[in-house]
Amino acid sequence: MEKRKIVVCDHLHPKAEEILSKEQDIEYVNAADVPKGEPLYKVIEDADLIITRSSTPVDKELLDNAKKLKAIVRAGVGVDNIDIDECSRRGIIVMNVPTANTIAAVELTIAHMLSCMRAFPYAHNQLKQQRIWKREDWIGNELKGKKLGIIGFGNIGSRVGKRALAFEMEVITYDPYIPPEKATNLGVKYTTNFDDILECDIITIHTPKNKETINMIDKEEIEKMKDGVVLINCARGGLYNEDALYEGLKSGKIKFAGIDVFSKEPATDNKLLDLDNVTVTPHLGANTIESQEKIAQGAATQALEAVRGISYPNALNLPIKENEMPPFVKPYLELIQKMGHLAAQVNKGAFKSIKVEAEGEISNYIDSLVTFGTVGALKESLGESINYVNAEFVAKERGIEILKGQKPESSGYKNRVTLTLTTDKDLIKIGGTIFEENVQRIVDINNFALDVEPKGKMILFKNTDVPGVIGEVGMILAKHNINIADFRLGRDKKGHALAVIIVDDEVSKEVLKELENLKACLSVSYAIL
């Protein structure tokens, strides 16, 4: 019997070895203590699958040496150490274990909340290290009756909300990507106004880290908060701007902060550590015995299923091999995913439906197009947790209708794909095609004919079609030193125009606000592809 080789590259709970070592068709190798680089490369050169954690960089160099590698399991959630694009190009499937640490992260959030309200770490240090008994130094506050604002009401945020209700707190959540009833059915208030969160006594964040959420709490947001607010971050470093957080804590505007994650880790020299109103932990979100055992068990089980070709649980990519489908298909799959991502950034709200349509020969691959389009649309709100295997299941679980349509004959284009995203606020319909040499193009947005490469930083500006608008837009961008790389304009028969402006520089909220205030502006949005 030919054995399949599984190599564990980093230290895992013994549960993984217990599962893998007893399988007769598996050659199990524990390489956790093998130095990274050439020594590890020799071990994995004939591996069918490897299991990693964050300390093994899965880059092009490693992949060049792993000549038989078919799949990778990341024992945990984050995959920052894995070059997923390079893996996809080589047909290597990447999986993670996304939910095993949920309860650990939830309970750590509650622990930080309690520590901030009662200053437990400081009272502990005074008594144990200084041997001082001064109860009067530690007058705290109770959770009961306090208003908790939860940013992001997914797998972790919703469970934090349930536990906060048990403390008899008033709980409100902001998450534009969920239907309101997901919160209200639990007894949690739902808001679409972010300022409602800023008025809370305690604020905790549980979102993926992406362009929309980085620095989501910054100086401007902190200024709007009530004096004495408590902030918690056990999700991702960088969701709170650390400079603004430091100033808010130093001034007393923020009474206390509980921080488990930092923009740069290890964070041994972070200036937040100098303050006396911060409780900190070194990224312990998944650090419980139960969580580590679940992660190890999940990783080992997924590895066995994948290496045997049974299934690929929590796959984050879908390998497309040139010899398995016509060469013209892959660019369309990439294009429809970008169109879904663009649609989700422009039409923000609780998703109602995602519809993918195809015309021409590409319509024979409608099921794959639907999967890629759904992943693109959901990636904006769900980040790493969405993948090609679970995309349609997650959509159905969230009450999102997945629709598809196909026409063998195409009108005007040899092949064309269209994605329509409907939310509780609006509808956006984007059409695209592939020109010669695999050039991807968006050719239509909400019936405005355009010719746009789906790439880079994009401002979508809709306005009444009157003289002088382009000049006004250009002046605002120039004032903020934003260089225009490309400018594409579409017009309709209703006296409206839609400009897609590709820029070289980041576009701030302030710039978008100035554009929105132009008299001719009907709507403005910003997206990055």
Residues belonging to the active site: 236, 265, 283
Residues β-bridged to residue 394: none
Residue 20 CA to residue 32 CA, distance in Å, equals 15
Angle at alpha carbon of residue 445, lines to 439 and 451, rounded to 5°: 35
HSE toward the beta carbon, residue 272, CA cutoff 13 A: 28
Residue 111 CA to residue 497 CA, distance in Å, equals 52
Do the Cβ atoms of 251 and 278 come closer than 8 Å? no
Question: Considering only CA atoms, which of 32, 54, 53 is closest in space to residue 43?
Answer: 32
What is the strand order of the sheet 49-52 is part of? 26-30, 4-8, 49-52, 71-74, 93-96
Question: Considering only CA atoms, which of 341, 348, 339 is closest in space to residue 523?
Answer: 348
Residue 117 CA to residue 256 CA, distance in Å, equals 8
Identify the residue whose tokens are 């013994």: 14
Residue 226 CA to residue 61 CA, distance in Å, equals 51
Other Cβ atoms within 10 Å of 355 Cβ, number: 18
Write the CB contacts of 122 (distance below 8 Å, at least 6 apart in sequence).
Answer: 138, 276
Do the Cβ atoms of 525 and 346 come closer than 8 Å? yes
Do the Cβ atoms of 402 and 395 come closer than 8 Å? yes
Do the Cβ atoms of 63 and 87 come closer than 8 Å? yes
